[in-house]
Each structure stands twice: as structure tokens, then as C-alpha cells.
Amino acid sequence: MPDSRLPDHWLGDPKFDGLSDAGWRILTHGYMWSNRYLTDGRIPHKSLRHLGTHTKDEALVELVEMGLVGLDEEAIYLDWDAQTARETILSQRESTRERVAAHRSRQRELIGNAVTTPVSPPVSRRGRLGQEEDLSQLSSTEIDERFYG
């Protein structure tokens, strides 16, 4: 999930002077919602409830009147210039998927499947499975020499 960016110049920017707390909350939550669902700043009216608002809300009307949010009969629209576009995020995800798949493939070729490939012949405290030799008194070096030459 991409992070939402609130540009540094917004802090103290005169265009936000007089904006209510509710308006600020709707605006910032709108950026987070839109980034989560990769809508590039478009938030359908039916989804406004997730921002705690609706089309007739005074705070949303305030945002529209201040020019911070666009509005039409289907959705509201946020300025998406400071955010990462959906296509860029999807492209980055695909590149990551391909890179990870290639890395995992190389690792399988180099070391095999560590879960199913035995590291050594099965050995119990009494020796190789099926043998009756007692190995409990031998050091690991002696065991290695006996079984691995």
C-alpha cells in the first residue's frame, strides 16, 4: 500500500487559512483512502462515508468552495500532483514480483529445495537408520569421518 504525501509547503500555506478541522480531516483522509484503493484522487460519492462525510456536509462544501476538492455528480476529486499514480505503483509491484521470482528461482537452482532435499543421510543416535551401530559415544568429527569419509 502506498503512503500518502502531504507536501511540506502545505504547513502554513495561506490557501488552507480558515479551513475547519473537519475539512482538513476529510481532505487528508481522502488522500489516504484514494492511495489505498489506487483511485488517483477520485472518490465516488458512495465511498464518502469512509471519510466520515457526504456530499451535503458543510466541511466538504467548504473544501469545494476553497478549490481544494473537485466535485461532480459521481465523485469528488483531489489534486494528485504530489502523489504516485496508480499505473506507476502497479508497474513497481510487477517489477518487484518479477525480481523476487527470479531471485527465488536462482536460489532454488543453487541450493535446491531445503525442505525436501536431505542435507545428510538420516542418522539416529544408534547410527544410520536401519543399522545397529551405537554412535552415542562418538564425537561429531568421528561420526563425520565414519559416514562421510
Taking only the tens place, the pLDDT of each residue in 21-79 is: 999 999 999 999 999 999 999 999 999 999 999 999 999 999 999 999 999 999 999 99
Q: Which pLDDT belongs to residue 139?
A: 74
Closest by alpha carbon to 11, among 2, 23, 26, 24? 24
CATH of domain 8-78: 1.10.10
Q: Which pLDDT belongs to residue 141?
A: 76
Q: Which pLDDT belongs to residue 29?
A: 97
Q: Which residue has the cell 506507476?
A: 88
- pLDDT > 90 in the chain, percent: 64
Give residue 123's identity as a one-letter amino acid code: V
- pLDDT > 70 in the chain, percent: 81
Report pLDDT digits (tens) over 76-90: 999 999 999 999 999
Q: Which pLDDT belongs to residue 110?
A: 79
In the chain, where the domains are located: 8-78, 92-117, 121-149
Q: What angle do CA 20, 22, 24 make, to 5 degrees?
A: 70
Give residue 108's identity as a one-letter amino acid code: R
Q: Which pLDDT belongs to residue 130?
A: 52
